[in-house]
Amino acid sequence: MTHFQISLSFVVLSIIIVSSTYASAAGNNCDVAQNYFWQGQMGGEREQALEYYLKAVELCPGFIRPYELIGNYYRNQDDDLRAIAFFKRAAELGSVNYKLYYLLGLLYYKQKEYAQALFHVNKSLGLNDTYAKAFELRQKLKRIPDIQGPILTFFEPAANQLNRVAHFYQTLTFRGHAKDKSDIASLSIGGVDIDVQPDGRFLAEIPLKPGPNRVKIECVDMFDNRTSQEIHVQRATTIADTNIYRKSFAVIVGINDYDKWPNLDSAVFDAKAVQSIFEQTGFNEITLIINKNATQRRILTELYSELPQKVARDDRIVFYFAGHGTTMKTDGKPPVGYIIPVESSLTDLPATAISMGQIRDLCSHISAKHIIFVMDCCYAGQILEQGATKPKNNGGKHMGSTYKRVIQIITAGAKDQVAFEGEKHGLFTEFFLRSLQGDADLNSDKVVTGLEIGKYIPPIVADLTNHAQTPIFAHIEGKGDILFFLEQNNMQSIDL
């Protein structure tokens, strides 16, 4: 049975799409959004509260709680499609409300979308393994025979390109998520067997021949139910002379003055220094978020809404964070690393901070081919416990890395280490700035790569701190490599 997921955003026309009017003032809008949210909380008619919540997410699309309340309103109105759509927004942002995932599971169960239902019920029980309603629904789902093929959600190529794709490069990136009630047995794209991660993620670079290509996709579950599709790709016979990157974006967050956490001295200074060097090195759009503006909802808005709307496949993104980071340990579960927004609670980190897992999930919605996270905070190395891998050395060659998808991360220290201050900047940021000024150009080709930064910074900082702080570089996804150019004309000079 063929069973491809149809995005509910095409079904539910009332989902809010944020216009570019708000993009330039997203910080202020997120403050106003909180005021609308509190007005909705103060009582009165449910319809009036709904209007306030809708306005809140229109102004600040990274604000999790209003999506939950809007979804619940529509659920109580028996408007299941709208309820699912808004609940999904909260889930995509990283809600830790176990009741939300149970309700999503229940709604998908009513729609006979059993793989989706089981996925969300398991998520609910992962957050609260004593929740009886979720346990009962899971038992009910397990008794239903699996006769549906896997659900494939594609982030790349985009859903509206799956019938026909025009392409310039030697390979085409396929990335997405596979779900099935009985687990995935195999996934094949273009005749290549693709590894599917335990959480359902997959990423593959499929070779193309010049001219027309027909790429068959087939996914099989444990009961031999199949989902298949064929797409047509036209690969250009010649590559146009173009820049390596269409546009370059940077999101820079620095927090000195916390509401509840101890204040810091140099985070904002470091953030502004990073902003300055990006202004000098060819970045088209730089968003600086500092101190009181660096709320959870504001940072999530940038990652969930602003960047996905602006960014295209041939762009690069740098996300830099200077502030507090921490690790939370839960009995029987792996530790979770968090970056700490300005208003974050000291105790309820899952609901008020931003986990490394959230950051990884949000990257799925960003189409840029090269993304790097630069984390100058304590305990950021916990990301290595959450699916990141040590990259392989490419021998200093850029061939192939310029068009392949990659998400990289470099952290100020390991999972159990604090980040030290230097004379002017945080010690880690000091050498990150030097990297972009050319110190990390290890092969003197006027191009600094992510891999070169990963080789340059860690041994220097480790030596200066007697290994009390050892920065870590890793790949979260893909096999490409981000590039920084010491001379602007180099952006056109690298072979693809």
Share of the chain above pLDDT 90, in %: 66
The CATH code of the domain that includes 367 is 3.40.50.1460
Domain tally, the chain = 3
Is the same domain home to 277 and 213?
no
Q: Degrees (nearest 5) of the Cα angle 7, 12, 13?
A: 115
Among 209, 235, 261, identify where a domain stops: 235
Is the same domain home to 314 and 390?
yes
The CATH code of the domain that includes 160 is 2.60.40.10
- Between CA 37 and CA 364 the distance in angstroms is 28
- Terminal-to-terminal C-alpha distance of the chain: 40
pLDDT confidence of residue 3? 38
Q: How many residues does the chain have?
A: 496
Choice among 27-31, 110-114, 465-469 with the minimum mean pLDDT = 27-31
- Average pLDDT value for the chain: 86
Is the same domain home to 432 and 310?
yes
Is the same domain home to 311 and 397?
yes
Largest CA distance in the chain: 66
Asked whether the predicted pLDDT for residue 291 surpasses 60, the reply is yes
The reported pTM is 0.88
- The DSSP letter of residue 426 is B
Choice among 351-355, 415-419, 457-461, 464-468 with the minimum mean pLDDT = 415-419
Q: At what angle do helices 80-93 and 98-110 cross, to 10 degrees?
A: 140
**Ranges 107-111, 157-161, 392-396, 414-418, most confident:** 107-111
Is the same domain home to 227 and 252?
no
Count the helices and strands in the chain (H runs, E runs): 15, 19
Structure tokens at 69: 């309340």
Q: Which of 395, 370, 368, 373 is nearest to 383 (CA)?
A: 373
Structure tokens at 442: 């290890």
Among 212, 235, 258, identify where a domain stops: 235
Q: Which of 322, 315, 251 is nearest to 286 (CA)?
A: 251
Boundaries of domain holding 36: 13-142
pLDDT confidence of residue 494? 44
Is the same domain home to 127 and 156?
no
Asked whether the predicted pLDDT for residue 242 surpasses 80, the reply is no
Q: Which residues pair with 188 in a beta bridge?
A: 193, 218
| Residue 6 lies inside a defined structural domain of this protein | no
pLDDT confidence of residue 380? 62
Is the same domain home to 106 and 166?
no
pLDDT digits (tens, 9 = 90+) for 121-145: 999 999 999 999 999 999 999 999 9
Asked whether the predicted pLDDT for residue 18 surpasses 50, the reply is no
More confident residue, 412 or 71: 71
| Residue 4 lies inside a defined structural domain of this protein | no
Among 235, 265, 290, identify where a domain stops: 235
pLDDT confidence of residue 389? 59
